[in-house]
């Protein structure tokens, strides 16, 4: 079982920034950030593989940056120019082969 722990969420004013971290208990190949706004379905934010290749959802392009430190088994999500609609529980998902694991999530709240 791969354990994932997300940290870095909190309350921030519109236009501000946060950096989320996803720490894994062991090496993983691909990691994605998802988010689930209140009353809405879970949606993909960004993906990064072990080589550093990235994919961004439209909502993240130009504002968010996903990165990783393989030595620390940690993936980051730098969130800039935050808007109230970014308010959500942000979750980390890790994949290796045909297996995947989820973290517990971290709450991000953006005030007007």
Rounded Cα distance between 56 and 5, Å, is 21
What span, in angstroms and rounded, lies between the C-alpha atoms of 31 and 47?
Answer: 6
Q: Please check the confidence at residue 97 and state whether its pLDDT lies above 90.
A: no
With contact defined as beta carbons under 8 Å apart, do 78 and 62 qualify? no
- Structure tokens of 65? 């940056």
In whole angstroms, give the CA distance from residue 34 to residue 95: 13
7: pLDDT confidence band, cut at 50, 70 and 90?
Answer: very high
For 20-44, the pLDDT digits (tens) are: 999 999 988 899 999 999 999 999 9
pLDDT at residue 28, as a whole number: 83
Residue carrying structure tokens 């030595």: 71
Per-residue pLDDT band for 1 (boundaries 50, 70, 90) equals confident
18 has pLDDT over 90: yes
Q: pLDDT tens for residues 34-91?
A: 999 999 999 999 999 988 999 999 999 999 999 999 999 999 999 999 999 999 999 9
Average pLDDT over residues 9-16: 98
- Name, in order, each residue with C-beta under 8 angstroms of 69's C-beta and a sequence gap of 6 or more: 76
Length of the chain equals 112
Looking at residue 29, its pLDDT comes to 85
């Amino acid at each position: 079982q791969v354990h994932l722990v997300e940290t870095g969420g909190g309350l921030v004013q519109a236009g501000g920034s946060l950096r989320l971290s996803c720490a894994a208990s062991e090496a993983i190949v691909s990691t994605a950030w998802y988010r689930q706004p209140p009353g809405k379905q879970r949606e993909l934010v960004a993906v990064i593989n072990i080589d550093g290749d990235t994919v961004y959802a439209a909502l993240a392009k130009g504002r968010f940056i996903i990165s990783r430190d393989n030595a620390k088994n940690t993936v980051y999500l730098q969130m800039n120019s935050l808007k109230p609609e970014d308010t959500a529980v942000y979750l980390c998902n890790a994949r290796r082969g045909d297996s995947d694991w989820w973290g517990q999530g971290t709450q991000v709240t953006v005030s007007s």
